[in-house]
Amino acid sequence: MSNSIERPRYYCSLGGALSTLEALPDTIPILHAAVGCAGSIAWAQNGGSGLQVGGYCGGLAVPSSNVSERDVVFGGVDRLHEQIGTTLELMDGELYVVITGCVTEIIGDDIRSVTAEYRAQGVDIVAANTGGFKGNSYLGYDIVLSELVKQYVAYDLPKAPKTVNILGIVPYMDAFWRGNLIGARRLLEKIGVTVNTFFTNEDTLDNLKNSSSAALNVVLSDVYGVDAARTYEEVHGVPFIQATLPVGPTASAELLRAVASALNLDVDVEAVIDEENRQYFRYLEPLADVYNDADLQKYAVVIADVNYAVAVTRFLIDDLGWLPVLTQFTDVLDEETQEIITAKLRTDDPIPAPKVVFDTNATEAIRYINELYPKQESDKYAETLTPAFVIGSSLDRSLATKIGAGHLSVTYPISNRAVLSRGYTGFAGGLSLVEDLLSAAVAAR
Amino acid sequence: MAKKIKQIAIYGKGGIGKSTTTSNISAALSKLGYKVMQFGCDPKSDSTNTLRGGEYIPTVLDTLREKSSVKANDLIFQGFNGIYCVEAGGPAPGVGCAGRGIITAVELLKQQKIFEKLDIDIVIYDVLGDVVCGGFAVPIREGIAEHVFTVSSADFMAIYAANNLFKGIQKYSNSGGALLGGIIANSINQPYAKSIVDDFAQRTSTQIVQYVPRSVTVTQSELQGKTTIEAAPDSEQAAVYTALAKKIAEHEKSTTPAPLDVAELREWAKSWADQLLALETGAVTSVGQSI
């Protein structure tokens, strides 16, 4: 049976590459794509990234070769050449990156010969083959970052022993990308590490240029950013570690320990963790009584991309004390990755582990829930999914309504929240997530 | 009611004599009194050369490259005996999409209803080698040609290309696409060559429309930039082409071929290789006896 795309939770690899570049300071993306690609991506972003879209040279103002039939037949390289020329003339940037769409990839336009010509004239320009059919927007992030690592990042720099790069938080696909990157940076700074996050307002393009001097890449994802980290390793000899997106005290403490160990830091990590925990729990103290009295503990259904599905489920189990019953991963993942991720959501007795499913179609969630809680003639003595809470995207609000649960959007697409600086990483990020979950739980009062 | 225009497409492996055969069919048809258009669908754009005294004509795509709006009349050039000649053309080798170019060129003429305006009786599309992508299958898709003929010699690669074409025809046959008229067996001089193409036709449920022998007359005519019909109208070879043209003009009913799958085709070729080897070494077999 064919599987229709119901409620897509990502866009194409060209889109992922474009939004990644839009997030990078002083960087001008140049699409070599058909008319309409940039617009479609802009609207998808607009509707799904917590009201964030575009910026300078982004959204509907992105330079694009807008190839048409004539360019398809004769090749679009001349059109691209012209587009780069006019973009250099009109747009104010430091780095230019050409990314391709399906049409120009299918006809095999040699974009690298064009960018090489401009590079020979001293322009900082990079080419990335991101044809939309290659995969989804998460892949686009990895493709374009890998090309930046190969074509833009400086070679043969002396190593900075306490500097790390953060990878794996995908701008716009994670609406909280800025807050999350800053959160990860603040967290690691507490153990004396210098952190490159590339995309925030605290970063410059030089951070990217010099990122090969880092002693370590920290990939805060089980999937995203791994290709880019491998490219760093192969091309610039930067090793990498992978960690769960550090949401809340448990994951944050684990990350601090992992980074300190990978860098052989002479720091009392446990003292740092103790102090962070002290502050975190001081905030929670006044909540504790009402949490119990007002019955704020919930059964949770988590439907999210791999970063949030793991991080949020773990946070609920390890830190908040909610009971995740179902965690649905909406990414396309191979079996090996599925096994690794499933292992991450195991629990020790007596804490129940959630049912883990890998299904890109989130409308199936209700079926999984019904399997867990079969319909009874009377609910009087049966175990039911109450009180429940759905943590997912805006698309999962209808599920929450159907099962009478609260709802919070944390994963793409998020169309019912405005997100600017908010983030969930670090100890402080955990507090923000508690606030948001409990605020949603009591919103009807 | 407008008269029905007969549209046929001729496919075959590159270098097999497709354009030579097509041009001679066009020339013979025009001598028989039909108004003919020959539409070259090959980026090499030399299909109509021998109808134009060896001269190349500007192609549809060359013209489109220079102008944003193109009139079909500017793309049509008359050749031998008033035959209308069109060349689709294509991008420079290695860039762009030649398949899309063919689609664009065919659509342009179709949109401007040029066949009706010129009161053409028969349009012949001369399409390059293999059906490598959707673009080169355009003439056999719905609403363009009705009948397809393939030029093939007894060489395995030519038959392989013909078999691929049959797959294309079979694919589009359920959606109103063109059907197969038959095989024009080219360069058939040796008896075993005839047996090979006959066997292939039989296995794929099609027919041989005409056996065309290899002839020095064709070469002589082409060196003068002419078709055999024009340069040597009374030759035996011209008679063969005229007979072929008549059959095509009268051809009404095409069928869906039954292409062999790759393994079958290889097995079939191997069995012929064994038989030819046996023939060479003098072994007497039933096939050897018959030829």
Contact (CB, 8 A) for A177 and A24: no
For residue A73, the chain B residues in CB contact (below 8 A) are 61, 64, 90-91, 96-98, 100-101, 104
pLDDT in tens, A208-255: 999 999 999 999 999 999 999 999 999 999 999 999 999 999 999 999
Q: Is A424 a member of any domain?
A: no
User: A176 and A134 in one domain?
Assistant: no
Interchain pair A72, B65: CB under 8 A: no
Residue range A69-96: mean pLDDT, rounded: 95
Q: Is residue A432 part of a domain?
A: no
Among candidates A70, A77, A110 on the partner chain, residue whose Cβ is nearest the Cβ of B64: A70
Catalytic residues of B: 13, 18, 44, 130
Query: Do residues A265 and A303 share a domain?
Result: no
A140 and A165 together in one domain: no
**What was the pLDDT predicted at A1?**
46
Closest CA of chain A from B11, distance in Å: 22
Q: Name the residue in chain B with its Cα closest to that of A79.
A: B96
Residue A367 lies in a domain: yes
Q: CA B159, B161, B166: angle at the middle one, nearest 5?
A: 90
Residue where a domain stops, chosen among A151, A181, A199: A151
Q: Is the pLDDT of residue B290 over 60?
A: no
Residue B143 has pLDDT above 80, yes or no: no
Tens of pLDDT, residue by residue over A393-433, are: 999 999 999 999 999 999 999 999 999 999 999 999 999 99
Same domain, yes or no: A312 and A398:
yes
Q: For B187-225, give one letter per residue: b (16+ CB within 10 A) or e.
A: bbeeebbbbbbbbbbebbebebbbbbeebeebeebbeee
Residues A225 and A168 grouped into a single domain: yes
Residues A26 and A140 in one domain: yes
A299 lies in the same domain as A240: no
Q: Which of B64, B95, B104 sits opposite A77 (nearest CB)?
A: B95
What are the tens digits of pLDDT across the range A299-325? Answer: 999 999 999 999 999 999 999 999 999
Task: Quote the strand ranges of chain B, DSSP E.
Answer: 6-11, 36-41, 77-78, 84-87, 122-127, 147-152, 179-186, 208-212
**Chain B residues closer than 8 Å to A106 by CB:** 97
A166: containing domain? 160-270
Sign of the four-CA dihedral B41, B44, B50, B53: positive
CATH number at residue A102: 3.40.50.1980
Domain total of chain A: 3
Residues A234 and A305 placed together within one structural domain of the fold: no
Q: Is residue A430 part of a domain?
A: no
Say which residues have a Cβ less than 8 Å from residue A382's Cβ, sequence separation at least 6: A373, A376
Are A392 and A303 within 8 A, CB to CB? yes
Chain A 47-76, CB below 8 Å of chain B: which residues?
A: 69-76
Contacts of A69 in chain B (CB under 8 A): 100, 104
Give me B4's structure tokens: 């029905």
Tell me, what's the ipTM?
0.74
Q: Tell the burial category of B67 from Cβ atoms under 10 Å away from its Cβ (0-12, 13-18, 19+).
A: exposed
- A128-186 residue pLDDT tens: 999 999 999 999 999 999 999 999 999 999 999 999 999 999 999 999 999 999 999 99
**CATH class held by domain B6-260:** alpha beta
Which of A73, A78, A102, A112 to mutate against chain B (most B CBs within 10 Å)? A73
Q: A109 in contact with B at a CB cutoff of 8 Å?
A: yes
